[in-house]
Amino acid sequence: MADASLNALIEALRRLPGVGVKSASRMAFHLLQHDREGAQHLAQALQQATTRVRHCSLCNTFTEQEVCPTCLDPQRDATKLCVVETPADQAAVERTAAYRGRYFVLMGKLSPLDGIGPRDIGLAKLFERALDGVVQEVILATNFTAEGEATAHVIGETLKQRGLKVTRLARGVPAGSELEYVDLGTIAHALVDRR
């Protein structure tokens, strides 16, 4: 396929996570042959999201506002702060309906092997948030992977030293798994049994 625009499209699609050259070619072919409207739509959505979406000043999740709807919700218990790695993990906890406190979304996890340290995820912002004087308990809901556990450990040690109550999701969640893929019942149970 010697076409410049087509090759550029395939290369651009390859930057998506989990997309190799074969998948990228199939996607480009599909869009150009069967769904040009979808391609235009995706172009606009990308443009709009990259210009509009920023981080909530309180919980760090993606939002178009200065403060996200979850943080603005007055019904939520401001004394509890649940720390998760990603918005998808937050959504998983929300779906259990077993938690009505606030959140902090790290947008990543500590990963020394990948060169991801405390400054690359929102740890300073989290500490500031957790030590606002209102939060009394921080619930660590990072994934039960090696990196998620290490991240929970670092956060937990720091916040305990500052006098906060720190709990961790109970080990009802199978070790080595990622929250996003865990069934609701298990997450709900782990929330109740947090230690």
**Which chain residues interact with a copy of itself by CB under 8 A?**
1-6, 8-9, 11-13, 15-18, 22-23, 25-33, 35-36, 38-50, 52-53, 61-64, 68-70, 86-88, 90-91, 107-108, 180
**Considering the complex, what minimum distance in angstroms separates the CB of residue 170 from Zn ion?**
25
- Our CB check for a copy of itself shows the closer of 90 and 158 to be 90
Q: Which two tokens stand for residue 17?
A: 């996570």
3-class DSSP state of 50:
helix
Say which entry of Zn ion, a copy of itself, none residue 47 contacts (CB below 5 to 8 A, set by partner kind).
a copy of itself
Per CB under 5 A, which of residues 54..73 are in contact with Zn ion? Answer: 56, 58-59, 68, 71
Rounded distance between C-alpha atoms, residue 53 and residue 156, angstroms: 29
Q: How many residues does the chain have?
A: 195
Amino acid of residue 3: D
Residue 81 in contact with Zn ion, rule: CB under 5 A: no
Q: How far is CA 96 from CA 100, 119, 183, 187, in A?
A: 10, 31, 9, 7
Strands (E), the chain: 54-55, 62-63, 77-84, 101-105, 137-140, 165-168
Q: Give me the least distance between CB of 21 and a copy of itself, in Å please.
A: 10
C-alpha closest to that of 190 among 109, 103, 98: 98
CB of 65 to Zn ion, least distance (A): 9
Assess contact for 105 and 147: CB atoms under 8 A. no
Taking the least distance from each CB to Zn ion, the nearer of 107 and 150 is: 107
Shortest distance, CB of residue 75 to a copy of itself, whole angstroms?
A: 15
CB of 96 to a copy of itself, least distance (A): 16
Residue 35 or 157: the one with the smaller Cβ distance to a copy of itself is 35
Nearer to a copy of itself, 148 or 156 (CB): 148
Residue among 99, 92, 96, 70 nearest 167 (CA): 99
DSSP state of 174: P
Beta carbon nearer to a copy of itself, 137 or 180: 180
Q: State the residues that interact with Zn ion by CB under 5 A.
A: 56, 58-59, 68, 71
